[in-house]
């Protein structure tokens, strides 16, 4: 079985910031030298999930999950270790010659997913090459240039063109040895009822859809002539779930982190135009399929969301739906209302990038002001009946806000505008609002994997962990524990970790050599074994004193040995009751056990 070179593992690990990686799924807050948050592996209300940037490790003190950047990806995404290396290498823009491992390391499901990812990468490169370098792609390139898009933008987002040929993609994939049935399942090609394979995106400009790490998992194809349908998109596949993906997310991620803000638009070309105009922190939901999962993901990265949907009635209705999802999180939600029948692409092409930036700075509205403006349309506010209908419409929209604090603020502002008692308006709220006000539903992260919460640990388990913690501080303690305890650990994972330490620490290893050699050696030892990585992370992050004298170590060893002797005594009791031939024989053996127990207590 091919082994991933240590230098590749080290390069990928060094290039992956553990805080950035975990922050994409967990909202982390600074607490001393560590960061804490709600564990993504089990449901909890108080944060017990801890991340140490210094050690590059995480650990949950509630459920025991722990490890490094590799373990986190393996456990949250269900990938093998080679797939994880490949995923993080892609994320860090690290090219790995010849891949990272042979397929024999993967399960059948992992093999299929890997083939799909490989095929998406190949097809994206093909479409991009066709667009930029062939005569067949000139029609697509002309279309994009006419839309005002530069080659820099096209290259940044890897836009391509699928030639107007029925089997271009089919033949390209078949020549490279891809299973065409898997390609159909991946949504890259189609299959007729007669069993004929044919291209899915032929004659269309193609926008690659990537996951949060930049791995291409689907495509959106736009017709540039009169063919129908206008858009052909990847359907749900083992890789592609539109409720979890945002177009432009990998390109926007760095700017989102820096600005703590994201612009949310409707279309792929809108993303390209807004980014090209200087607002690089921009993404789009696929269609209008903005979901609670999208809202949760954005809330972990930014403080402010600016919604800039189309200026038509459908766009305004979609804006209100998105507002409801975002308001479940502690986000500053604003709306950038465009002129009627205008989208960001139209606005920027008509007015230019500088005017766009002025528009962004001057025209953003709060959610309440947006609702106010939208619901006033077509109403004569000088008429009492129209004003009442407007207020009732506002109360109906406000009632859909689950957050009681936001709801009370909106009611107060509305009451101030019309010089009405807030209590009167609150009493006219639709019944659904009164019911939802009894609770404050802040959605929790979905558990990735259910884990049993740790129960109270036994003395010997704690002693073994503390011994391992002590051994991680220097070679002298490793040698001391090795010579007195050996491999007499009760817990199998502890025994394996201790074996690795004994193996790497020589008789003459110095502390300086230990600090250089042991941490990376132990991480490599644990990388492909999540159960080892969990325990290793827990032990490394334990709040135990570094200075542990021999007397304390001896006490821990004594606890472990005593437990083993107690187990032997209990086993012997059962054997006596089962095997002893006479009462006299039983009495003699029991007296021997009593003496052993007495000596054990006197230690």
Q: Quick: pLDDT tens for 479-510.
A: 999 999 998 898 889 999 999 999 899 999 99
Burial of 335 (0-12, 13-18, 19+ CB in 10 A): buried
Distance CA 148, CA 348 (A): 9
Q: Rounded to whole angstroms, how far apart are CA atoms 603 and 599?
A: 6
Averaged pLDDT score across all residues of the chain: 85
Tell me if 205 sits within 8 A of 147, measured CB to CB.
no
For residues 449 and 78, give the distance between their C-alpha atoms in angstroms, rounded to a whole number: 10
The Cα 180–Cα 171 span in angstroms is 10
DSSP string over 223-255: ESSS-SSSEEE----SS--TTT-EETHHHHHHH
Is the preceding peptide bond at 229 cis, omega within 30 degrees of 0?
yes
pLDDT at 447: 45
Kindly tell me the sign of the dihedral angle through the C-alpha atoms of 552, 556, 561, 562: positive
Please state, in angstroms and rounded to a whole number, the distance separating the CA atoms of residues 518 and 525.
10
Under the banding of pLDDT at 50, 70 and 90, the label for residue 384 is confident
Which of 246, 203, 243, 249 has its CA nearest to residue 222? 203
Closest CA to 309 of 322, 291, 298: 322
User: Is it the case that residue 571 has pLDDT exceeding 80?
Assistant: no
Q: Considering the domain 242-364 in this protein, what is its CATH number?
A: 3.40.1360.10
What's the DSSP call for residue 441? -
Buried-state track 29-39, b at ≥16 Cβ within 10 A, e below 16: eeeeebbbbbb
Of the two residues 44 and 115, the one the predictor is more confident about is 115
8, pLDDT greater than 60 = yes
| Contact status, residue 4 vs residue 85, Cβ threshold 8 Å | yes
C-alpha 170 chain-centroid distance: 33
- Please give the average per-residue pLDDT across 169-186, as a whole number: 96
Q: What are the φ and ψ backbone dihedral angles of 420, each rounded to 5 degrees?
A: -120, 150
Q: What b/e readout covers 212-236, taking b as 16+ CB neighbours within 10 angstroms?
A: bbbbbbbbbbbebeeeeeeebbbee
* Residue 53 pLDDT grade (very low, low, confident, very high; cuts 50, 70, 90): very high
User: Which of residues 282 and 598 earns the better pLDDT score?
Assistant: 282
Query: What region does 540 belong to: left with phi over 0, alpha with psi -120 to 50, or beta?
Result: alpha
Please determine, for residue 603, whether its predicted confidence score (pLDDT) is greater than 60: no
Residue 445 pLDDT class (50, 70, 90 cuts)? very low
| pLDDT the model gives residue 69 | 93
- Residue located via tokens 């969990």: 534
Strand pairing report for 304-307 and 332-335: parallel
Dist. CA 339–CA 363, nearest whole Å: 11
> How would DSSP label each residue in 249-289?
HHHHHHHHHHHTEEEEES-HHHHHHHHHTT---EEEESTT-
Phi/psi-derived region of residue 32, left when phi > 0, alpha when psi is between -120 and 50, beta in every other case: left
314-364: per-residue pLDDT in tens?
888 899 899 989 988 888 999 999 998 899 999 999 999 999 999 999 999
Q: What per-residue confidence (pLDDT) applies to 170?
A: 97
Distance of CA 342 to the CA centre of its chain: 34
CA distance 396 to 17: 45
> What average pLDDT does this structure show over 378-392?
82
pLDDT at 268: 95
pLDDT band at residue 113 under the 50/70/90 scheme: confident
What does the angle CA 55 – CA 61 – CA 66 come to, to the nearest 5 degrees?
A: 45
Which fold is adopted by the domain 107-241?
Answer: DNA primase DNAg catalytic core, N-terminal domain (3.90.980)
Total-model pTM: 0.69
How sure is the predictor about 261, in pLDDT bands with cuts at 50, 70 and 90?
Answer: very high
Grade residue 450 by pLDDT with cuts at 50, 70 and 90.
Answer: very low
The residue ranking higher by pLDDT, 95 or 323, is: 323
pLDDT at 174: 96
pLDDT of residue 440: 41
pLDDT at 448 over 60: no
CA dist 288 and 322 (Å) reads 9
Greatest mean pLDDT range, 45-49, 280-284, 468-472 = 280-284
Whether the per-residue pLDDT at 529 is higher than 90: the answer is no
Ramachandran sector of residue 545 (left: φ over 0; alpha: ψ -120 to 50; beta: rest): beta
CATH pick for 6-105 out of 3.40.50.720, 3.30.70.1450, 3.30.70.20, 3.90.580.10:
3.90.580.10
């Amino acid at each position: 079985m091919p082994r991933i070179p240590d230098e590749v593992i080290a390069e990928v690990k060094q290039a992956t910031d553990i805080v950035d990686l975990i922050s994409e799924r967990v909202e982390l807050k600074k607490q001393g030298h560590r960061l804490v948050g709600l564990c993504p592996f089990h449901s909890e209300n108080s944060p017990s999930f801890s991340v140490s940037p210094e050690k590059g490790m995480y650990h949950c003190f509630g459920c025991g999950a722990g490890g490094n950047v590799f373990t986190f990806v393996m456990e949250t995404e269900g990938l093998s270790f080679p797939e994880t290396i490949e995923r993080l290498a892609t994320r860090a823009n690290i090219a790995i010659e010849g891949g990272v491992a042979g397929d024999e390391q993967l399960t059948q499901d992992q093999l299929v997913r890997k083939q799909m990812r490989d095929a998406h990468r190949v097809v994206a490169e093909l479409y991009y090459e066709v667009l930029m370098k062939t005569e067949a792609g000139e029609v697509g390139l002309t279309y994009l240039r006419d839309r005002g898009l530069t080659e820099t933008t096209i290259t940044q987002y890897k836009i391509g063109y699928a030639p107007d040929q029925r089997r271009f993609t089919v033949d390209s994939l078949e020549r490279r040895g891809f299973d065409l049935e898997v390609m159909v399942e991946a949504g890259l090609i189609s299959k007729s009822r007669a069993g004929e394979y044919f291209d899915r995106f032929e004659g269309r400009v193609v926008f690659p859809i990537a996951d949060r790490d930049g791995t291409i998992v689907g495509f959106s194809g736009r017709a540039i002539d009169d063919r129908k349908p206008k858009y052909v998109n990847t359907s749900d596949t083992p890789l592609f779930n539109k409720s979890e993906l945002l177009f432009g997310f990998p390109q926007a991620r760095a700017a989102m982190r820096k600005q703590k803000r994201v612009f949310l638009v409707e279309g792929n070309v809108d993303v390209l135009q807004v980014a090209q105009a200087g607002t690089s922190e921009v993404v789009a939901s696929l269609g209008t399929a903005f979901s609670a999962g999208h809202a949760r993901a954005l809330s972990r990265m930014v403080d402010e969301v600016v919604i800039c949907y189309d200026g038509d009635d459908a766009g305004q209705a979609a804006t209100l739906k998105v507002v409801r999802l975002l308001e479940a999180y502690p986000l500053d939600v604003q709306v950038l209302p465009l002129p009627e029948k205008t989208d960001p692409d139209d606005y920027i092409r008509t007015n230019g990038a500088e005017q766009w930036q002025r528009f962004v700075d001057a025209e953003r509205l709060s959610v309440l002001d947006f609702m106010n403006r939208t619901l006033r349309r077509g109403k004569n506010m000088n008429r009492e009946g129209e004003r009442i209908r407007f207020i009732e419409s506002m109360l109906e929209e406000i009632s859909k806000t689950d957050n009681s604090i936001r709801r009370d603020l909106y009611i107060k502002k509305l009451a101030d505008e019309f010089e009405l008692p807030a209590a009167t308006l609150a009493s006219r709220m639709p019944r659904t609002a009164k019911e939802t006000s009894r609770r404050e539903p802040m959605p929790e992260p979905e558990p990735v994997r259910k884990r049993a919460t740790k129960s109270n640990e036994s003395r010997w388990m704690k002693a073994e962990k503390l011994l391992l913690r002590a051994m991680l501080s220097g070679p002298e303690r490793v040698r001391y524990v090795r010579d007195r305890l050996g491999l007499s650990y009760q817990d199998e994972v502890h025994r394996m970790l201790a074996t690795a330490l004994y193996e790497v620490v020589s008789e003459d290893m110095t502390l300086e050599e230990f600090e250089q050699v042991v941490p990376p050696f132990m991480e490599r030892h644990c990388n492909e074994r999540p159960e080892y990585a969990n325990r290793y992370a827990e032990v490394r992050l334990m709040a135990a004193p570094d200075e542990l004298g021999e007397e304390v170590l001896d006490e821990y060893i004594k606890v472990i040995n005593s437990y083993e002797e107690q187990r032997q005594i209990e086993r012997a009791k059962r054997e006596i009751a089962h095997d002893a031939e006479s009462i006299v024989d039983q009495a003699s053996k029991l007296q021997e056990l009593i003496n052993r127990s007495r000596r054990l207590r006197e230690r």
